[in-house]
Structures are given as structure tokens and as C-alpha cells.
Amino acid sequence: MFRKYKSSEILSAQFEQLFNKTTLIFDLSDDDYYPYCYALGEDLVSFVRTLKKGKYYAPKIDKLIRAIPELDRETPEEYKAFHRQRCEDIMTLIVELLPFQGWKPKA
């Protein structure tokens, strides 16, 4: 992950809690996503809202979490691509807000 995003804040101890809340959403299977994404998503969004610049990023992340693909028009492969892109977009926003936190990498 560090190689992809090149953000030293990813190596901070504080990032771990944010990362864990984020990956709970990513790990939901296709069948479980919509029944469980709202509670897990609200937990992540609430946490992001407490961070610096969180009031800007939280609604953007919430919108991505709640996005619904056109299931009647998409194949299973297209749905998986939709979910992969959703996860990528959420993680991009998470990494984007890290520099505002002032977190230092672990020594």
C-alpha cells in the first residue's frame, strides 16, 4: 500500500485504526455488501468526521459507500469491477486526508 500511495502517514500508528475500519467495508462479499455496508460505513464516516478536514471527506466517502450499481444491467464481472473501483476511490480519499492529520510514521 505504501508503494502505491507513497504517503508516510500510512506508516503511523494512528492510521491503523482508520485502515481497519476501511477494510471492513472492502472485505464484505458481494452478497453481504448492502445488508452490512451501512452500519460499517457509518462507523467509518463518523470516525473520518472527527479527523482534520473530516467534514469535507466524510460525505464523499459516505456517498461512495452507499453507491448502488445498476444490478439489472451489470454482469457479475462488472459488479466486481464496480466494487473494486469503489474501494479504490474510498482508499484514495482516505490517503488524501492523511497529510492534514500530522501523524508521524512509527520509529
The 10 Å Cβ neighbour count of residue 94 is 22
Closest CA to 94 of 60, 63, 43, 70: 60
Its pTM stands at 0.86
Residuewise pLDDT in 10s, the chain (107 residues): 667 777 888 888 889 999 999 999 888 877 777 778 888 899 999 999 999 999 999 999 999 998 888 766 678 888 888 889 999 999 999 999 999 999 887 76
Domain ranges in the chain are 2-101
Residue 32 is classified by DSSP as T
pLDDT of the residue at 62: 95
